[in-house]
Structure 1
Amino acid sequence: MLRFVILSLTLVALINSSNIPKTAATPPSRYQNYNTFVKTACNSTTYPTMCYNSLSSYSSTIKADPIKLCTTSLNVNLKYAKNATLVVSNLLKKAKSTSSPEVPVLKDCVEEMKDTVDELKQAMAELKNLYGGVSKEEHLKNMKTWVSAALTDDTTCTDEFEEEEVNEETKKKVEKAVSELSKTTSNTLALITNYLRF
């Protein structure tokens, strides 16, 4: 009798278990965890840790969409560019007030930073028009050109600080802001190159 009861209970348990939704037992798809998609994408960049740290909080928006990935990266990149512009602009104002010999090099750097902002905006415009107007390949080519130009401007600014005699504290502040921007721009270019293919 006891054996029959145990057998019956086992059978009931098996029947009930078959009513469990199949999705619960379905293994997650490759990028169901969107953080994994962002991390995988960032591993293709020159500065993966910085890339992941700056984009992971947007993973639920990016999901596994290459367009959203590159759009988000450009938006973050633009924030870094505006921050670098602000840092250098404030240093320029201070230098002007003291008639510092650093004024020319800071002025040049501010112009480079402003150019970077404009170029990243141009790249964003190309990305928005990716499915309209000229061919996708043409928009993609233009996008890469704008981001590459932004990267060149970042480097031009820091190179000039290496060549000129400037206050060490000023140099450190500029290099920190522009270095972060340069790394972010490099990462953005890598993501566009690796994830926007047609």
Structure 2
Amino acid sequence: MSQFIFSLTLVFLGFLASTNIQKTAATPPSYSQNHKTFVKTACNSTTYPDKCYKSLSSYSSTIKSNPIKLCTTALSVNVKFAKEATSVVSKLLRSSQKTLAGRRNKMLPETLILKDCLEEMKDTIVELRQAITEMKTLHDGDSVAEHITNVRTWVSSALTDEGTCTDGFEEVKVNKKTKKKVTKVVDELARTTSNSLALITNLRF
């Protein structure tokens, strides 16, 4: 009888051990989850929270729970969107210029607008990079408020340039397909920039 009880005990202990192993394997690392929660909570304060979290959640292990890294990463992602928008506008401009071939002394309205938009996109990239450079100075501890103000100014300027680009397509009649493509890519960029600005505005020191 005692042998039977002993064997039953061993089986029960083995079952408990197996259950614990399964639970451990199924439980995600708490640190990783906490970092994603930090990013999600920060994104909830932005204008486009879902877009914010979607673009930044994959960087949560790098961001951890550091607000400065969060903002710097957001700006870096912002630059990628700006480059994509610049590429789209640049291709459309080249296509428009080819259409002009053989038309002496005649300039299509959309060609001029695309040229202006391309310059705005290039300015946006410069301004966002300046903001990233300024963000790095926050670690120094001197004149933090001044540096944050400078970062906001750079990002605000980028947002203004993006708006200037799309405004041009509202003022002059252009090819509908061209307008749709530019509006779509620049609006996506503007949402990203708006989110970056919100994250920076929420920095507290």
Report the TM-score, using the length of structure 1 for normalisation. 0.83
Q: In the alignment, which of 101, 114, 135 is matched to residue 143 of structure 2?
A: 135
Is residue 130–residue 154 contact of structure 2 (8 Å, CA) maintained in 1?
A: yes
Is residue 31–residue 64 contact of structure 1 (8 Å, CA) maintained in 2?
A: no
Offset, 1:30: 9.8
Q: Which amino acid aligns with 1:161?
A: F
Alignment partners' CA distance in 2, 1:35 and 1:134:
30
Q: Which amino acid aligns with 1:58?
A: Y
Alignment partners' CA distance in 2, 1:146 and 1:134:
19
1:115 aligned partner: 123
Deviations 1:37-80 (A, max 9, x none): 11111100000011011011111111111011001100000000
Q: Which amino acid aligns with 1:49?
A: D
Alignment partners' CA distance in 1, 2:177 and 2:142:
47
Q: Which amino acid aligns with 2:46?
A: T
Is residue 51–residue 192 contact of structure 2 (8 Å, CA) maintained in 1?
A: yes
Alignment partners' CA distance in 2, 1:88 and 1:31:
38
Offset, 1:133: 8.2
Q: In the alignment, which of 175, 182, 187 is matched to residue 167 of structure 1?
A: 175
Is residue 77–residue 185 contact of structure 1 (8 Å, CA) maintained in 2?
A: yes
1:90 aligned partner: 91
Offset, 1:131: 2.7
Alignment partners' CA distance in 2, 1:88 and 1:134:
40
Question: Over the residues paired in the alignment, what is the CA RMSD in angstroms?
Answer: 2.3
What pairs with 1:1-198 in structure 2 (closer than 5 Å)? 33-99=34-100, 100-132=108-140, 135-194=143-202, 196-198=203-205
Once the two structures are aligned, what percentage of the paired residues are identical? Answer: 64
Alignment partners' CA distance in 2, 1:33 and 1:131:
23
Alignment partners' CA distance in 1, 2:33 and 2:187:
34
Offset, 1:32: 5.3
The gaps in structure 2 that reach 5 residues or longer are: 14-19, 101-107
Is residue 32–residue 60 contact of structure 2 (8 Å, CA) maintained in 1?
A: no
Higher helix share: 2
Deviations 1:99-122 (A, max 9, x none): 243110000000000000000011
The gaps in structure 1 that reach 5 residues or longer are: 14-19
Q: How many residues align?
A: 180
Q: Which amino acid aligns with 2:35?
A: Y
Report the TM-score, using the length of structure 2 for normalisation. 0.80
Alignment partners' CA distance in 1, 2:186 and 2:84:
9
Alignment partners' CA distance in 2, 1:124 and 1:181:
17
Offset, 1:35: 1.1
